[in-house]
Structures are given as structure tokens and as C-alpha cells.
Amino acid sequence: MFGESYKVAHKADCPSPARALGSIGLQRGLDMKSSDIPVKTDAGNRELSLRAHKLSPRVRSLLIVIHGTDTVAELSQSFQAFGDVGASLNELAGLGLITARESPSGTGPVPAQAANAPDIMPPAPQAKQFLNETAVAVLGLRAFLFTLKLEHCYTVDELRAILPEYRRVVGKAKGEEFAAAMAARAEAILSRR
């Protein structure tokens, strides 16, 4: 898995996202190595609040957690239950919502760039979106009761209080390891200030 390579479109190479994401896949693009780090663009940050591209819950969940700190391999491992992470990264890149940068010598996390500034969207609403999108992506209609409870959470403390319930319902569907990884990502979002 870690030696895999992903094709990510550069906006300049793909005049339209539809062409970039056609049924035969990307025709042109840059090889995104498993050690590369996806970084949200300003358009990606705007998409979080505007929802202009009508992304699927799985792709939106991935966009929410991209902060310019995790490699493609780390994201692929964390989101393996969501299916083909490479295709989701292709979609985000084709829409101009992310770009990739090379990982420096593979030593530890890389600080986020300005486009990933937390002031674009405060942590509580961003974490709430992440919890909602991942629950819906994993559970489908079975997420209804959880999302009703989530709708009543507005603060960081309220969202932290619902994390055990999130782990339980997601863990039931996709396994405890996946649920723990997603809950840890939500906690990381909540911890940003």
C-alpha cells in the first residue's frame, strides 16, 4: 500500500473537472506518491463552508481532515474503509480543492500552510461536519439517530461528549480500529485553536 502511486490532476492540465474525472480516469497529471502531503487550497477551505461542489460524504470527509500534515499513505490507511482514497484525492485535486507537496525527508508531521488556517472555519463546526459526513458515509440511513443527536451539539465540549457514541455506531459498522482513527481525527480538529 505504501509503495503505491496516485495520479493527481493539476488544474492547469485539466481544463474541466468532468474531463479530469471521466470514466477512464485521469489522462494527465502528476504522480502523487504515498509520501506526498495533500494540502487544502483556498478554494478547498471555501468549499467547507459553501458546499458549492456537492461532494459526496466520503470525499467531503477527506477534504475536512486534510490539513497539510498527513501523507497520502496515512490518509489511505485511516480512510481505508471508505474505499479508494486515491480516487477521492483525484476528485479533490481535479476540482482545485487540494494540491500536493513533497514530504520533507519523511521526518514527523509537517506544519500546515496558510491555506489550512483554522480561522477559515472554526474547529467546532468543522468537527461537527466531519462527524456528520463520516457517519453518513459509513452508515447511510442508519446514521439518522446519531445525526439527530449531533444536530444539538454546538460547542467543542458538546462535540467531545458525543465522541463515544460516534465511536460506538461507526465501530459497529466498520470496526473499532476505523472508528478510533476517525474519532482521533475529530479530536484533532477540536483541539485546533
User: Percent of the chain scored above 70 by pLDDT?
Assistant: 75
pLDDT in the model for residue 78: 87
Reported as a pLDDT band with limits 50, 70 and 90, residue 27 is very low
User: What pTM, to 2 d.p., does this model score?
Assistant: 0.63
18 CA to centre of own chain: 21
Please indicate whether residue 11 or residue 123 has the higher confidence score (pLDDT): 123
User: How many residues are present in the chain?
Assistant: 193
Mean pLDDT computed over every residue of the chain: 79
pLDDT in tens, 76-111: 988 888 888 988 998 999 999 999 888 776 544 444
**Cα angle 174-49-191, degrees, rounded to a multiple of 5:** 60
CA distance 43 to 32: 20
> Contacts by 76-85 with C-beta closer than 8 Å and gap 24+?
76/1, 76/4, 76/34, 77/1, 78/181, 78/182, 78/185, 80/178, 81/138, 81/174, 81/175, 81/178, 82/58, 82/137, 82/138, 83/58
pLDDT for the residue 146? 95
